[in-house]
C-alpha cells in the first residue's frame, strides 16, 4: 500500500466520464491511496492513525505543530 498526502484549501472528486461531482472538501488533506491484492486490514489500521496524526500545519514559531485532528479537519 502506498499513500500520497497533499494539504488542500479545497478538493473535488469528480467521475471522469460524466463529470458528476462525487464529493468535495474544504481545508484538509487529500489522500491518494494505492492498494494491491496483498494489502489487508492490518495495513489500513496502521496507516489511518498515522495519516491523522501527521503534523502538517503550524505557525512561524512552530512550523509543523498540528495534525489534521488538531486542526479539526
| 72 inside domain | no
Number of domains comprising the chain? 1
Domain around 13:
2-65
68, with CB counted inside 10 A (0-12, 13-18, 19+), is: buried
18 pLDDT above the threshold of 90: yes
What is the H or E stretch that residue 44 is in?
helix 41-53
Q: By the 8 A CB rule, do 30 and 44 touch?
A: no
SS3 20: coil
| 21 inside domain | yes
Total residues found in the chain within this entry: 73
| 10 inside domain | yes
8 pLDDT above the threshold of 90: yes
What average pLDDT does this structure show over 60-65? Answer: 88
59 pLDDT above the threshold of 90: no
| 46 inside domain | yes
> What is the CATH classification number for the domain harbouring 28?
3.50.80.10
Per-residue pLDDT tens digits for 41-58: 999 999 999 999 999 998
| 51 inside domain | yes
Q: In sequence order, what are the beta bridge partners of 57?
A: 66
| 71 inside domain | no
Amino acid at each position: 500500500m502506498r499513500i500520497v498526502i497533499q494539504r488542500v484549501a479545497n478538493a473535488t472528486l469528480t467521475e471522469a466520464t460524466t463529470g458528476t461531482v462525487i464529493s468535495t472538501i474544504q481545508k484538509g488533506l487529500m489522500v491518494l491511496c494505492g492498494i494491491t491484492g496483498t494489502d489487508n486490514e492490518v495495513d489500513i489500521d496502521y496507516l489511518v492513525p498515522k495519516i491523522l496524526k501527521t503534523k502538517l500545519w503550524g505557525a512561524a514559531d512552530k512550523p509543523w505543530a498540528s495534525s489534521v485532528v488538531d486542526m479539526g479537519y
